[in-house]
Amino acid sequence: MYVLLHAYIKNYTKNVKYSSQIFLLITTGQMFMMNRFFDGAFLTFGVDVIRFLESDQEDRVDPMIFIFPRMTKCIFHKFGVSGEVETHDSICILPLNAVNEKIYVFLWFWFMILGVLSAAVIVYRFIIIVSPRMRVYLFCIRFRLIKRQAIGNIVRRSKLGDWMLLYVLGDNVDSVVFRDIVHDLSHRLEAYHNKNSTVRTVDA
């Protein structure tokens, strides 16, 4: 049972650590694919739109019309009076592009927000992984009934996966009950550590 639980905690920790990285990779990949589809104009699309809105009326060059033209030249082939196919040039109106440009402006800002948030989560989780002190601080901020000494004792004598499981457990258990669980776990870990220290001292 312990082996299965330990394996589950280990897999859960890996999933949490890599989920944000995969999400950021997917978001970045989608932006670069769209940039390639739009001939290199998508990565700076939102910035260009902001500059367009802030520029003077005389100097404006609409990047949305550049990517999504609303008028274009069309060539029609139809039978003329003589019965032969004649070519006619005309101007076509593309009303759907007025909708498309708004959609892709929204997508640009949406991808940017997702990318920034994903990067922030990666930095946040990296700090949690490398800093036991930060784990103690976050735990004390989230669960104020728990003594700092108790959670500090648990963090020192357990792994990252154990801390994450305990953190999730705290969100689903009554605060008073969870406080008792954490304090009892801290005492048990302290007693186990002291017992092992005593055994090693006697053996020496």
**Largest separation between any pair of C-alpha atoms in the chain:** 113
**Rounded Cα distance, 46 and 38, in Å:** 13
Question: Are the C-beta atoms of residues 183 and 189 closer than 8 Å to each other?
Answer: no
Say which residues have a Cβ less than 8 Å from residue 196's Cβ, sequence separation at least 6.
Answer: none
pTM of this structure: 0.72
* pLDDT tens-place values along the chain, 204 residues long: 444 555 666 677 777 778 888 989 999 999 999 999 888 888 888 888 888 888 877 767 778 888 888 888 888 788 777 778 788 788 888 888 888 889 999 999 999 999 999 999 999 988 988 888 999 999 889 888 888 898 888 888 888 888 888 888 888 889 899 899 889 988 888 887 777 665 454 444
